Structure 1
Amino acid sequence: MIKYIGLRKLGGLLHSGQVLAPASKPWITDLSMLCPFEGLKPGNIPEFEADPNWENWSLTDSPEDPSKRLKWHVFERDGSHYHVADRMLMTRVSWKDLDEVGYVSGKHLVIDGRQFRCRLLTGGDTPCKDPYHGATQRNEWDIFVGGAVLNAPKPERADHRSPLRPDHLRSAHNRSWNWFGAVSWTAEPVASRADGRVCRGYHGPTYFYVNTVDHRHEDIGWRPLLEEEL
């Protein structure tokens, strides 16, 4: 059984020696080609492509300034805690970029003296007939983000409606998970395409989307999961 613990602050995102504050507008960073609705301002998620060198990026210990600490939804299952970032931490980063340093299947990290395995959530490899309904297989995205766990934030029916509107941005579930206008890479290759990788979000909390393994885009990025054995 999976238990929802709640929202916790832990660690920070370090770039070139500076801890970055979590994005205050955690959605698509360039609206010149695609804009969810008229009047939206560009997001401010840090962009990996501006400095595509992993030696300059890392997850670090919790900074003294609480406003710069990352937020995580924490779940407990089978003697482990699963900390899922409440928003994308980085955009314009490809699945291949993440895989090259171990962030897809799992990389060992120490934050605040605690041991973690940092990886991507599973997201399924085949979409439902309606992509707003997520994947056909059981997966962590639909369980954790999709609200399948007791007491975890749950989306409303309106969160799954098209097209995107300001109501999506303001919805309670989006304020918890920040899926609006932000497509998060997940671990699996898509079943129907060798160079395709599954990403979730943007149009709705469980929306199923596919992009090319080595593409860097303004609306697709990194939302890590930290796995911690108790």
Structure 2
Amino acid sequence: MELKTFGTLYVRGKPVNSGRNYSLYKSRPEVSLGDTNPGKGITWVEWNGLFVAHQNLVYAISWYDLNIFGLISGKQVNIDGRPYNLRLIDKIADDYDEWDAILDSTEGCYRKAVFWDSKGKYSWTQTAWEGDSTCKILRGGTEVRDRTALSIYNAPKMAGWRPVLEPVKLRLCDMQGKRVKVHGKFGDVQGILVSCTDYDIVLAIPGEMPETAICGRFCVKLKPGLYAMDRGMVERVDLEA
């Protein structure tokens, strides 16, 4: 389990620091996540392939408003060129959710000091309270195992948004015709993905390929502006934002 920092909270399309009091805004502006803005990065706990926010990014916000913005069960967002499903903590079994599973995988005081930075506030989850769709469970509070429930329309200061990011694995063929960044052993290259096979990636790149890539046998120039890259030299391919 590791802490990583990336992405930024956006309110009305503008980057802001985490920990916002939503009740201070007028007209219930949309909240979302986007590319990392210097000095406004979000800290995440990486667990089981997921990223869970280290703390509430926004508080005094209702489940109803989060649902209006599509932030409950899965909204695709791109952060720094990578696609994710953005959602809330979900149930795994009766009376057991991802919150419990993460705590079970950590040790003692590490749970409080590093992972569960709740500051006495609760975080909304997807789970209904005793089958009532208008009442949802929140986790957190003063103790790491605390659990409470509120109407989806309530927005007390103790209720907040702690999102989960679920990385979306895209096949290379799904990226054809789109601008990508190829991370190779001899450097990064940006261009339009033209085609791909089990052996090569073909990119349309304005201008000349960096000399480090050519000298390292990372690619072959097919014709001006078109290059084929050896997939064995490619570490990963990201969609450009």
Q: String of CA shifts for 1:17-60, please: whole Å, max 9, x gaps.
A: 542223xxxxxxxxxxxxxxxxxxxxxx3122322656553212
Shift of 1:179: 2.1
The answer to whether the 8 A contact 2:11-2:32 is kept is yes
Q: Residue 120 of structure 1 aligns to which amino acid in structure 2?
A: L
Amino acid at match of 1:101: F
How far off its partner does 1:193 sit? 4.0
Tell which has more relative contact order, 1 or 2 (C-alpha 8 A, sep 6+): 1
User: How large is the RMSD of aligned CA atoms in angstroms?
Assistant: 2.2
Offset at residue 196 of structure 1 (A): 1.4
Pairwise CA distance, 1:138:
3.1
Q: Give the structure 2 partner of residue 8 of structure 1.
A: 4
Q: Which residue in the other structure is 2:75 paired with?
A: 107
Report if aligned partners of 2:85, 2:168 keep a CA contact under 8 Å in 1: no
Among 120, 135, 138, the alignment partner of 2:96 is: 138
Distance 1:102 1:56, change over 3 A: closer
Q: TM-score, normalised by structure 1?
A: 0.66
User: Would the aligned equivalents of 2:3 and 2:44 in 1 still touch at CA under 8 Å?
Assistant: yes
Contact 1:155/1:205 (CA < 8 Å) preserved in 2?
A: no
Structure 1 equivalent of residue 107 of structure 2: 154
In structure 2, the residue matched to 1:168 is none
CA contact (8 A) 2:23 2:61 kept: yes
Q: In the alignment, what sits opposite 1:222?
A: 161
CA distance 1:123–1:181, change in 2 (3 Å): farther
Normalised TM-score (structure 2): 0.63
Q: What pairs with 1:16-35 in structure 2 (closer than 5 Å)?
A: 16=12, 18-22=14-18
Q: 1:53 to 1:121 in 2, by over 3 A?
A: farther
Q: How many residues align?
A: 168
- Alignment partner of 1:50 out of 11, 24, 27: 24
- Unaligned stretches of 5+ residues in structure 1: 23-44, 125-134, 157-171
Normalized per residue, the structure richer in strand is 2
Q: CA offsets, 1:38-94, max 9 Å, x none?
A: xxxxxxx312232265655321201123xx200001123xxxx21100000001111
Runs of 4+ in 1 over 4 A off after TM superposition: 52-56
Matched residues, percent identical?
26
1:56/1:111 CA distance change after superposition, 3 Å: same
